[in-house]
Amino acid sequence: MKHPRLPLFSEDTEPLNTLFLDFRREVIRLATRLTVDERAWAQEHFTAANYLAAAMIYLKDNELLEKPLKGEHIKDALLGHWGTCPGLNILQTHLSLLAKKRSQSTLLITGPGHGFASFLANSFIDGSLEPYYSELTPDNAGTRNLIKAFCWPSGFPSHLNPGVPGCIHEGGELGYALGVAFGAAFDNPDLMVACIVGDGEAETGPTAAAWHSTKWLDPKKDGAVLPIIHLNHYKISNPTIYSTMSKAELTALFTGYGYAPKFVGPDHDKLHAAIFWAHDRIRAIQHAARSGKPNARPRWPVIIFESPKGMTGIPKLGKDQITGTWRSHQVPAKDAKANPESLAALEHWLRSYKPDHIFTADWATRLRRHLPEGPLRIASNPHAIGGNLRKALELPAPEEFQVAIHKRGHDRAGSTPVFGQFLTWTVRMNKNNFRIYSPDELASNKLDAVLAATSRAYTWPHDKADASLAPGGQVMEILSEHTLQAWMQGYLLTGRHGLFPSYEAFLPIVDSMVSQYLKFIEMSIAYPWRTPVSSMNYLLTSVCWRQDHNGFSHQNPGFINTLLNKAKEEQLVRIYLPADANMTLTVADHCLRSTNRVNVIVADKQPNRQWLTYQEARDQARTGAGIWPFASVDDPDVILCGIGDYQVQECLAAIMLLRHIAPEVKVRFVNVSELNVMGPAPFYPNGMDEGRFQQLFPVDRTTLISFHGYPGAVKQLLFDRPANSRFRVYGYIEKGTTTTPFDMLVRNNVSRYDLARRCIEHAAHRNHVLAPHAHLLVARIEKDLLAHQAYILEHGRDPPEIAEWTWHDVAHPAAHR
């Protein structure tokens, strides 16, 4: 079927003279045609990479087939995925040739990360591995070392990983390659990111959304992404969706996305021409934008590369077709160690590449003659080791934005609007080094002050009324958390900085992506040449306690639990729950300066009572927890601990209530602003040592903890603490609806009334003055709770004594002064 002719650059390009257009195409064709020597080299390079990839999967001895193949030469555990490797090999052959001939800085993102044997083979051939692995020399000894090291103890794993240069995306979990590629291209004007998307990966939702990333890509100041769909028809045991679609349907799909698709197969001449066609198109789009005449809807190229799965492999084994079917997906002839028929088929396959002819004494000279050198080698691209390129953010002094505390507990401010002022200057001072990734919630989360310093990025035409949209903006908004996460990952791992503010309820959408990212960072630490990158920073706001109009569906603090499960002694995860705006400022300043971590800040956007001066907040941030003297006594009956902004407010309201109705109850108040400190060192990063911990929480006193999220998160942290039965933890217990702010606290049993009642009940066990009438006080509090319920049912709002409550320093006989 003939493909419909597409405009050369965009739908907005003026019609060109047909003869001139045909002439120009012929000039381009001749300029990009393979020479005889290049074609011979491409075939030899492709064959060598195929042999290495296949041998890595199977061989532990006789790696170059210098002897007849025997079962004893086969690895006991056959791991890896052959089916995608030959397609990846031929694509890398021609991408490398492009980098050489055009001096194009090229970063490769491989969605089928399980084709790691291919990436290793190509990186070994071009010499990118030897500076990091001295045993991988360009000779027979080095070749043997490479082949044996794949999926071998203390060797290389089966998937792409940080242990090789050139890698910023593992591909172990499918769907994120394309988004990561665009993230790497933002603010990197001279970089081309080639992204190979497997046709199985293309079925995922994250990939489907990421195709729209071109609408945020600014050809004037950003680099480019060249997507290549690896259409080899099969997943593990089923055909892919794309393989069942016609070329006309695929053309319509990608034309609709805004691309100019080109189909090509595993023919060296045609593949070479297709890649150079794509590069010419990219350069034309960029040139137009950089010369002041941007195309309104630039049609970026996408190559749809169709090849038989596992091509060049075992055609058939027994009655089963192997090549071109799902049977080649992982390890064909997996029983070769014990089955003579499979062993013979494997040997015939491996010898078909003629390793004795390829891996001669001069193989490196021959195979590298058309490969780029130095940083132009794909696996040596400097952007893949972003820590080497990272420049620290220029940050304003956070104290310049502090909230003045005139009367503790009276002044109100929203943590995110205050932080937004700090963020505005951060954006202003870091024009090409910092981006905010937000799912269309910047204004809702009250961070829109930053729009005074930048626009929302968008390059396609839009209504003039949408004045905040413009190319080159530093705010990235799309209603796809997966895409934002992938963009930010690509941006950070290539040396830049970012912040991801979001409704608290919806960051769990990227739970698995963050887990994968943490694995990448943890593994990176093992390699000294992987220098630290900027931390991944999340701001969780619009929290579960104030979903007054969105209701139950928007109440989910589970992201904390996911990250807490990843918090361990490697210091990779920090979780902050600042009590007010000043604490938010000092914590955010610290997070934006940190490296190699995932930081989570939980702070609401609504106006809340302010408690600490900036200096007090900064002092507490050093330890992550502290006694608040103005609300505490020296020898308490019970300890009340608040973790989270609304929890702090309710704890202090409970203390004030007790000072009115039961002054004999002695309470100490402790605020925890960094969740990790509750866990014991060294099991949790920044965990509090036991001596300091017991100063705050003595073993002979009951501690009541009111926590922002699920109680199980704090219980997990306290499990290994001595005498942990002294703790009672309360928090969000999935009781919610569209209701008043205070009623959310009542429904989850963490209101001031609930906390005051529990203080009385526990204090009565040791306070003999209180004990005789404790039950009367509890009855009074329960009556107040019933009155609250009646009031909101009648009026639809919280009663004035709740909504207008403020802290007053009601003196306690034993209180600190």
Query: What does each C-alpha distance from 461 to 158, 216, 466 come to in angstroms?
Result: 44, 11, 10
pLDDT digits (tens, 9 = 90+) for 112-145: 878 999 999 999 999 999 999 999 999 999 999 9
pLDDT tier for residue 440 given thresholds of 50, 70 and 90: confident
Average of pLDDT values for 265-272? 98
Give yes or no for a contact between 704 and 763, defined as CB atoms under 8 angstroms apart: no
**Domains, the chain, with CATH or none:** 18-372 (3.40.50.970), 398-609 (3.40.50.970), 625-803 (3.40.50.920)
Q: Please report the pLDDT score of residue 8 as a whole number.
A: 37
Give yes or no for residue 23 having a pLDDT over 80: no
User: Which one-letter amino acid corresponds to residue 736?
Assistant: G
pLDDT, tens digit, for every residue of 750-790? 999 999 999 999 999 999 999 999 899 999 999 999 998 89
**pLDDT grade, residue 81 (50/70/90)?**
very high
**Residue 598 phi/psi, 5° resolution?**
-115, 120
| Mean pLDDT score of the chain | 92
Per DSSP, the residues of 202-234 read: GGSHHHHHHGGGGGT--TTTS-EEEEEEEE-SB
pLDDT over 60 (residue 642): yes
Global confidence as pTM: 0.93
Rounded Cα–Cα distance for residues 395 and 423 (Å): 9
Assign 699 to helix, strand or coil. coil
**C-alpha angle 522/526/531, rounded to 5°?**
85
pLDDT of 550:
81
pLDDT at 808 over 80: yes
Are the C-beta atoms of residues 359 and 145 closer than 8 Å to each other?
Answer: no
pLDDT of 816 over the 50 cut:
no
Q: Who's near 471: CB < 8 A, 6+ residues apart? A: 218, 220, 221, 294, 457, 458, 459
pLDDT at 14 over 50: no
Average pLDDT over residues 255-280: 98
For the chain, give the longest Cα–Cα distance. Answer: 103
Is residue 20 predicted with pLDDT exceeding 50? no
Q: Where are the extended beta strands (E) located within 41-140? A: 105-110
Token pair for 655:
């203390």
The percentage of the chain sitting over the pLDDT mark of 70, rounded to a whole number, equals 95
What is the C-alpha to C-alpha distance for residues 609 and 803, in angstroms, rounded to an integer? 11
Contacts by 510-516, CB closer than 8 A, 24 or more apart? 510/481, 510/482, 510/485, 511/558, 511/559, 511/562, 512/173, 513/173, 513/176, 513/482, 513/485, 513/486, 513/489, 514/485, 514/562, 514/563, 514/566, 514/598, 515/562, 515/566, 516/170, 516/172, 516/173, 516/176
**Torsions phi, psi for 189 (to 5 deg):** -60, -25
Q: CB–CB of 610/412 below 8 Å? A: yes
For 681-692, the pLDDT digits (tens) are 888 888 999 999
Check whether 46 has a pLDDT greater than 70.
yes
pLDDT band at residue 172 using 50, 70 and 90 as cut-offs: confident
Helix (H) or strand (E) holding 676: none
Alpha-carbon distance of 421 to 401, in angstroms, equals: 7
Residue 779 confidence (pLDDT): 93
Residue 299 burial (10 A CB sphere; 0-12, 13-18, 19+): buried
